[in-house]
Structure 1
């Protein structure tokens, strides 16, 4: 991992982006791999299921973490991390003790509670708000449908339920705005395998607009976000990141963007749709499926992806694996293995195998995924890098050192390029 000086101030500026409100643009040239800027989290929460494996203060994975002496549920790698996190953790500490196993606010609720506390402790702008303040976040309140408004009211009720003894609340209308802002501007912090570690607010990172052909990528070192160029950026060019997973075809990407961020992308990829045919590749058969059969199978694939997402909350690993296998059999009658819907279910099946420590099963799925991933994703993609890392570790676990070394070198080459 190469070392480098922090980016010099003055290389970027906030501007009024036509049709997009605010945006960020470069004032000088940035080379591929160069750090544009880094942004400490305004506030962040570690996923509850990760407690014990990561430090709540810095999100680093550590052995022998010490527990919070009161609730025994927060873990810290040293006294300094615990001291720094205490103003936020004290919001939850007593509630964790009081509710025990019934303490289960969502990550969104926990993050919003920390924002309220942070705004009281630090009413002035923080180091993460050099270009954009949290209070300036777009809420898209006028675009929320009744279902989204109801979900926000449920979150507000949970906030009062779990934090009532420790919080000073604004009125309901202000809370609706704040939750809408968090929903549109929150970030998922991921580890090197792109596993979900927690959620955070990075105001300056949130200033960047979306493109399905981004020129920067965001990576994380604990609760520090780093923004690096993945294409050459010339002075005056707008800086674009991607809000979503770029694996999927244009219609799916824009469905996600409209649902979560309330806009339709008009980037070159969404206009030209050059990659869609390959991403939706159909089997070469003597009797090709009709256009209607293909449309029906795409509809089935989208439905089974949603079914699996819901099923993860209540079905056993064996039942989840059965959903994956049955859907792959059905889709495989029409789709090539490189079709993104096939890849999606293979990835889910791989995750189940990893969870139950079926290394051979996970490796079989990973081997099918890696080549089409490398074709569908851009060369700099962390999705491809994380898959090489998973494969490398699986080969090593199964004592295939030559294959493991080869996979880990591919992972290292991508990560080195972006760090």
Structure 2
């Protein structure tokens, strides 16, 4: 087994395997980085981001064979070919009918790498990919059926190019990816891909995390967002910390098969603020609140299922109208600071951005940001991304002084969570100085 300087694996009481530090770390300091064992770029980002190094730039060169993958230059293309050739062949074979999910694409690449791998990789200094948690015995019927569909997709698109392990091993591998996969995001938290980082998979969850995972190309970096003393366990958050305790626990049980016992989940200290109701002349009953929570959860789920509208030729105004109707109904019980209200306002902002209704996007964004600052930790990617979006919107609307001031607030957070030498930080500094 290789080592990570300053970090060690240990048995965390009640949590199984975990990671702790053996020296002190300050806010913003890099604990360790981990290259992706395997990764895929989202199909929607092709042509905008290099398939090999994940650099976003103009003028990318396309693969001459499949015409679907894009690269910075010949060097990136050559480096990616051992990974890309599998997908290149399948895309050429299926043409317009090629449509495996991101998870299927990632698993196919993992199988190909496992086949060719001769030694422990730099992504597995502490944990081999095959030893990641799978929780297959805890999967419910719905998850099993979903995984079976993924396995069918794998066979459909890759059977001519890969030899697959037997069914149970495939079930385990897909489960490992579901439990341990990381969504790759850019500086505005837009989804750009999917990856696995075995060593980072050892890090346990807390709703009060002391480290954060960000990305530098295809490498994940773990940085301190609190001061950490020698011997302390390091924790990341597996989920969005915005929501109240009940929602977080439900999400953790569903996706990761455990309940959190961190300080926030034990004390529920933020729940009253997160679930704030309106002050009306008539007192709102507990039943009214419970009914509205149920409505909000269902509405949010229905809205998520309706997001296809943004990717089709349908009129997005219907989606904005849906957002506004939900916000109005929830507003009869919930305060504007209520997290369910914030969720729908954030979605409404996204629809406004899609339709280039920048004034509407700013209106919703300012309401959301005002509460994010209170509800999220100081060094939050969610807060930074909102500052970024609002700053760029303000500049686009010829409100440059406000825009620059807002971008500087994003920069202060990004220098901590991404590191002062990160490409995103350099680009933002150029933006602020007017060099772009």
Q: Indicate the TM-score class for this superposition, using the shorter chain for normalisation.
A: over 0.9
- Higher mean alpha-carbon deviation, 352-361 vs 321-330, is at 352-361
CA distance in 2, matches of 1:123, 1:116: 13
- Of residues 81, 94, 102, the one that matches 2:97 is 102
- The residue aligned with 2:185 is 190
Please name the residue that 1:58 is paired with: 53
Query: How far apart in 2 are the matches of 1:289 and 1:369?
Result: 24
Asked if the contact 2:391–2:405 (Cα under 8 Å) also holds between the matched residues in 1, the reply is yes
Partner of 2:319: 320
Count how many residue pairs are aligned between Structure 1 and Structure 2: 412
Q: How does 1:393-404 map to 2 (within 5 A)?
A: 393-404=392-403
Matches within 5 A, 1:207-246: 207-246=202-241
CA distance in 1, matches of 2:387, 2:89: 42
Q: Write the deviation string for residues 75-99 of structure 1: whole angstroms up to 9, x where unpaired.
A: 0011121112111111111221222
CA distances 1:351-397 after superposition (whole Å, capped 9, x unpaired): 11111222111111111111101000000101000000000000000
Residue 266 of structure 1 deviates from its aligned partner by: 0.4
Cα distance in 1 for residues equivalent to 2:365 and 2:120: 45
1:86 aligns with 2:81: yes
> Any residues of structure 2 matched to 1:371-386 within 5 Å, and which?
371-386=370-385
SS in 2 for 1:312: helix
In structure 2, the residue matched to 1:303 is: 298
Matching of residues 327-342 of structure 1 within 5 Å? 327-342=326-341
Q: After TM superposition, where is structure 1 displaced by more than 6 Å over at least 4 residues in a row?
A: none
Deviation string, structure 1 residues 5-43 (Cα, Å, up to 9, x no partner): xxx953110111122111001111111111000111111
The residue correspondences of 1:273-312 to structure 2 (distance < 5 A) are 273-312=268-307
- Provide the rounded CA distance (Å) in 2 between the counterparts of 1:356 and 1:121: 46
Q: How does 1:243-254 map to 2 (within 5 A)?
A: 243-254=238-249
1:377 and 1:89 map into 2 onto residues whose CA distance is: 39
Q: Which residue of 1 aligns with 2:171?
A: 176
Q: Which runs of 5+ in 1 are unaligned?
A: 1-7
- Give the TM-score normalised by the residue count of structure 2: 0.93
- Aligned-pair RMSD on alpha carbons? 1.1
1:71 aligns with 2:66: yes
TM-score (norm 1): 0.97
Mapped partners of 1:43, 1:81: distance in 2: 16
2:4 and 2:125 in contact (8 A); partners too? no
The answer as to whether partners of 2:225 and 2:416 remain within 8 angstroms in 1 is no
Q: SS at 1:110's partner residue?
A: helix
Structure 2: runs of 5 or more not aligned: 420-436
Deviations 1:113-151 (Å, cap 9, x if unpaired)? 010011112142101111111011010011001111111
- Give the whole-Å Cα distance in 2 for the aligned partners of 1:352 and 1:10: 45
The 1-side partners of 2:102 and 2:74 are apart by 25
Distance, in Å, in 2 between the alignment partners of 1:260 and 1:193 is: 24
